[in-house]
A and B are shown apart, each in its own frame.
Chain A
Amino acid sequence: MNLLGIDLNQPATYKDIWEWVSVSVPNLIVIIIMGALFVGALLLPFPKGKDES
């Protein structure tokens, strides 16, 4: 058991995306997080360095 108290030892639920394409919910969550990180990397500004000269 984990700290969240969620039993993840059950087979995952699958979502039908399109025709023969289906994806498990946990994988879908990771794909959405990866997509969000990619969009963030494109749009978020670079941090400014202190020693820019």
Chain B
Amino acid sequence: MTSAVRKERNAFYARTWGGKNRHYDIFKEGAIALAVTAILVVALSALFSSPDDPPLTFKGWAQSAPENFYATAVQQLAGTSGTATYGPPYNEGDGISVGPLTLQKWGGVTHPVDSVNDLVITPLSSQVEPSNVTAALRAWNAAAPDQQTTWATAYDEAVQATADDNGDLHLDAVTKGDYGPVPDLATGLLAMANSGAYDNAMTAQGQFFQTDQTKQLLMMGDGSYMDGIATEKNLQGNTWGMMNEAGSWPGQIWLAFWSVWYQLPMFNNADGGTLTDNADAIIFFILMALILLFILVPWIPGVRDLPRWIPLHRLVWKDYYKKYGRFTA
């Protein structure tokens, strides 16, 4: 198309409207849309109801998978848990990155979480404990950091060594060794969780009206309890979990644009790998590039011409084109 023809075409479509006019009331249309949506929401809610899953609690975890809770407590003390090794914004570390773009590190440690104290020692210290746990707390607090790490790391390795082929731990098979107060601390935390006191102690950290559930979620995320329930309810990333609802209700379809990338095998490899380990950062950049592409559509030759090549809008405005014609060079 030459420049002259393009000008002529643009002038044709920009000509003064000479056809009929119709009264249009945007408030009336908005009110109708609101009413129809409200009726649909009430009717569908009555027909299908909505998920009402009970919240996950540490008590539930401790009672259904005590070995896993115990081992997670030991990992917090040893600094080998997911939380302790997460990196920013919770603690120092590199975190996920795309090449030299260390997004997580750039954000900095804005929400510090000390896995030893916040998740184990502080909750244990918040209530009256049995004498062996009180003695263990005293021994832990009196020990040098190196000694604490030596005890906890040795016990963590001993506990993890009892895993069978299914990954199930057998605490009665832990080899004897010098683990200091760590076994008593983990036993005390498990007892606390079993009674429900750990749920309260975790919520009690923070302000009077506590709405920050970060520490609870991090602790839960380090074990297998929440992970197993998420898998059972199809809420993992590789089953569109980001846009799924619990149960058999449809999910948040508008998140499909984000969620679809997590379905690609290279981003959800069970054995990990660079792409899977850094999937969140890589997918962030992919989406930023795509969003930029959408914003720049009017300036990208070829892409901006797609409506002319695939003229779906002429189907919508077929009456207009029938009456008033199209530009022909």
Contacts and interface: CB of A to CB of B under 8 A. Distances in A.
Given A2-B49, A21-B263, A41-B316, A11 B234 contact: yes
Contact of B248 (A8, A22, A45, A52): A8
B247 A51 contact: no
Interface residues of A, number: 33
B229 to A, nearest CB: 10
Contacts of A25: 248
B47, B234, B312: which has the most chain A beta carbons within 10 Å? Answer: B234
B239 A14 contact: yes
Contacts of B245: 26
B244 interface: yes
Nearest to A50: B23
Contact of A2 (B21, B22, B46): B46
A26 B315 contact: no
A42 B315 contact: yes
Nearest to A39: B315
B46 A26 contact: no
B92 interface: no
A31 interface: yes
A22 to B, nearest CB: 7
Interface stretch (B80-88, B124-132, B249-257, B283-291): B249-257
Nearest to B44: A2
B91 to A, nearest CB: 34
Given A42-B312, A51-B23, A29 B49 contact: no
B99 interface: no
Nearest to B264: A20
B263 A30 contact: no
A36 B21 CA distance: 30
B48 interface: yes
A27 B20 contact: no
Given A24-B244, A42-B312, A8 B48 contact: yes
A14 to B, nearest CB: 7
A53 B21 CA distance: 6
Interface string A8-49: 111111100000111111110111001000000111011001
A20 B244 CA distance: 17
B307 interface: no
B105 interface: no
Nearest to A29: B250
Given A2-B47, A2-B48, A42-B312, A12 B248 contact: yes
A46 to B, nearest CB: 7
A24 B316 CA distance: 31
Contacts of B315: 42-43
13 contacts: A3-B47, A4-B47, A8-B249, A9-B246, A9-B247, A10-B247, A11-B234, A12-B244, A27-B250, A27-B251, A30-B250, A42-B316, A51-B22
In order of increasing CB-CB distance, the 9 nearest A-B pairs are: A2-B49, A26-B250, A49-B22, A30-B250, A8-B248, A12-B248, A42-B315, A9-B247, A51-B23
Given A14-B239, A22-B263, A53-B21, 16 more contacts: A2-B48, A3-B46, A8-B49, A8-B249, A9-B53, A10-B248, A23-B240, A24-B239, A24-B244, A26-B251, A27-B250, A41-B316, A42-B312, A42-B316, A46-B319, A49-B23
